[in-house]
Amino acid sequence: MVSINKVFYILLFVSLNIYASPEDDLADFQNYFKNKFPNTEFSDYKNGVYSIDSSSREQWESIEEFPPYEINIEQGEELFNVPFKNGNTYASCFRNNGIGIRQNYPYFDEDKDEIITLELAINNCRKKNGEKPLSYYKGGPMADISAYMAYTSRGKIIDIEIPNYKAEEAYESGKKLYFTKVGQLNFSCADCHVYYPGTKLRADITSPAIGHPTHFPVYRSRAGRMVTLHERFAGCLNRVRAKPFKAQQDEYKNLEYFLTYMSNGLEINGPGSRK
């Protein structure tokens, strides 16, 4: 039984590595999960581990009745609406005044040839208006603003585009990292989230890869504060005893690009609550 699975996994790995288009990858990737969890509605993957585990889902639903991140959304809204010293606002930096746009991130900026994530765009906006950048770590105003912007985008469908060859390179780079074993424990992201989702890792249950970026930033009860996606990437790398990259470093941006593309078709439901 184990060896048949291993062959399947190797075939999946190989098929995703042979030059297939991102569209082919997307179909393969999402079909893989649909087959693995036939009782899960596709749209429910936005709820991460709670889409595949009922007992933790019940507790999560209880928290969601009145989630702690409501405080952060309110704080984020206030911060978002305070003008910079030069009189401009965050709204001036974004399409639609920054409301209901989270599903468009990350995107490949064809002029700058770089991936722009939402958090990076927030700091770019600050820089453009003569303000100091906000930290991407340990919650704080960056996570609050990101939470507010995610909240205004709830229900919007993720539809990340790969507009040109350079963007595709970034996507491929992110994909490669996703499947590369790293750290002392020699795990790849795929090990927990593609090959063995729904299994127990000590007290945790591994969540499926599709749906991961839909609900960030998250309020982590363990930390008692908001956590952004790149901080979570760093957390995972620390856990496999690999040296984490810095938030908004290329490796993470490419990873976020790949991961979000793989969630195309799912809706934004951030911010989320997690243990």
Partner 1 sequence: MSTIKIRAKERNGSVTVKTLMKHPMETGQRVNKKTGDKIPAHFIQEVIAKANGDEVIVVHWGPAVSKNPYLTFVYNGSKGDELELTWLDNKGNRDSKTVEVK
Partner 2 sequence: MNRRNFLKNSLMTAVTLTTLSGFLIKPKSVFAAWPKTSFDITNLDESIKSVYGHNDLSETTKVKLKAPDIAENGAIVPINVKTALKNVESIMIFVENNPQPLSSGYNLTSKSLPIIGTRIKMGKTSKIIAAVKSEGKVFSASKEVKVTIGGCGG
Within 10 Å of residue 209's Cβ, how many Cβ atoms? 24
Find the part of the chain contacting partner 2 (CB under 8 A) among 2-10, 79-87, 151-159, 195-203: 195-203
Q: Is 75 in the site for partner 1 (CB under 8 A)?
A: yes
Residue 179, classified by CB atoms within 10 Å of its CB into exposed (0-12), middle (13-18) or buried (19+), is middle
Which one of residues 5, 15, 31, 221 is an interface residue with partner 1 (CB under 8 A)? 221
Q: Is 68 in the site for partner 1 (CB under 8 A)?
A: yes
Strand partners, 226: 219
CB of residue 228 vs partner 2: minimum separation in angstroms? 15
Among 30, 103, 146, 206, indicate the residue that binds partner 2 (CB under 8 A). 206
Candidates 3, 35, 39, 55; binder of partner 2 (CB under 8 A) is 55
Q: Of the residues 93, 189, 192, 236, which is catalytic?
A: 236
Decide if residue 81 touches partner 1 (CB under 8 A). Answer: no
Q: Which does 55 bind (CB under 5 to 8 A by kind): partner 1, partner 2, none?
A: partner 2
Per-residue binding string, partner 1, 40-59, x by CB under 8 A, is --------------------
State the DSSP string of 197-255: TTSEETTEEPPPSTTGGGG-SEEETTTTEEE-HHHHHHHHHHHTT-PPPPTT-HHHHHH
Euclidean distance between CA atoms 271 and 175, whole angstroms: 25
**236 assigned to active site:** yes
d(CA 216, CA 143): 9
Decide if residue 58 touches partner 2 (CB under 8 A). Answer: yes
Residue of 204, 241, 246, 249 that binds partner 2 (CB under 8 A): 204
Extended beta strands in 91-230, E state: 107-109, 114-116, 200-201, 204-205, 218-220, 225-227
78 touches, from partner 2, partner 1, none (C-beta below 5 to 8 Å by class): partner 1
- For residue 213, whether the previous peptide bond is cis, meaning omega lies within 30 degrees of 0, is no
Q: Which residues are catalytic, by number?
A: 236
